[in-house]
Amino acid sequence: MASGIEALKGQSAIVTGGGSGINLAFTKLLVDVGVNFLIADLSLHSSAQTWIKLHETTNGSHGRAFGKGASIVVPGAGVFDHSTNSFWEDYDTDYRYKILDVNLAHTIKMTRLAIARWLDDRKRNGASSGICGTVVHISSISGQVPSLATPLYVASKHGINGFVRSMGPLQQACGIRVVGVAPGLTETPLLVDHPLTFSIYDPRTDMILPPEELARAMMALVVETEKYQAGTILEVCDTEGRWCEVSVFNDPGPQGPASKMSGGKAVIDDLWKSLGLKAKI
């Protein structure tokens, strides 16, 4: 793994949603190994502002993904059902679901842009047997299971899993790797800053992952190319590298302490009540 990390020095990365949470943690890790970066986000969390200011003070104008272009792309911007229009609260049939535009359409389009750029570079510079670019997607364990309470989020993450796997053959064909990480419950502003979170998450009994654990898993997907083949979805529900690949068939479902939330049943019960229905089970 060390040689793979050393090879990243001087490369560039574009990270959407890098203003907070998992993507910010990954950006910091990239910078630590000498990767230039460009964060694309609608806003920066206070922690990101502090870190970027410190980075600019220390490194001047360095740390932006310009020059010969990015070799690492993270279409990481994402929203959750409760932070945008919900399936259960929306009755306008002409209204677009923002969560699908951000979580799924944006990730697919950004991947296509990256692939087109790398293929153009390949034609211009001549075919190469090495890796010419890596796209790292942020999926979720919600991409493995159903949820009546958050069907749009679940649909977006199932879509990411299918898309990442479909892109797997690109590595052998042209050196482009598309992979994804599937976090369990993770301590990000998207989650912990929302008032509804603590109706499903109990800090006394439930484990929540630090975003740095996800960043380490994402780095492993980038550099450990033999261990993690293109098309891999890497489930992260535990710490200290206890991760597992999500199987295409016969997957047992999310495993590990960060895969469970104690208040899930209460949320479903509230949903039935809001619909004026009685739960059958």
User: Does any domain span residue 123?
Assistant: yes
| Amino acid (one-letter) located at 272 | W
Q: Could you give the C-alpha distances from 280 to 268, 272, 273, in angstroms and in order?
A: 11, 10, 12
Point out which residues pair with 176 in neighbouring strands: 133
Cβ burial of 247 (10 Å; 0-12, 13-18, 19+) is exposed
Q: 239: left (phi > 0), else alpha (psi -120 to 50), else beta?
A: beta
Q: What is the pTM of this model?
A: 0.90
- Report CA torsion sign: 169, 171, 174, 180: positive
Range of the domain at 24: 2-274
User: Does any domain span residue 143?
Assistant: yes
CB atoms within 10 A of CB 101: 14
User: Does any domain span residue 19?
Assistant: yes
Q: Per the structure block, which two tokens stand in for 219?
A: 């780095």
Nearest to 112 by CA among 172, 42, 170, 157: 170
User: Does any domain span residue 280?
Assistant: no
User: Does any domain span residue 77?
Assistant: yes
User: Does any domain span residue 279?
Assistant: no
User: What's the domain count of the chain?
Assistant: 1
CATH for 112: 3.40.50.720
User: Does any domain span residue 281?
Assistant: no
CB atoms within 10 A of CB 138: 26
One digit per residue, pLDDT tens: the chain, 281 residues?
A: 345 888 899 999 999 999 889 999 999 999 999 999 898 888 888 888 888 888 776 665 544 545 467 999 999 998 876 655 678 876 666 678 889 999 999 999 999 999 999 999 988 887 676 888 999 999 999 999 998 888 999 999 999 999 999 999 999 999 999 999 999 999 887 666 666 666 667 777 888 999 999 999 999 999 999 999 999 999 999 999 999 999 999 999 999 999 988 777 777 888 888 888 887 65
User: Does any domain span residue 106?
Assistant: yes
CB atoms within 10 A of CB 99: 23
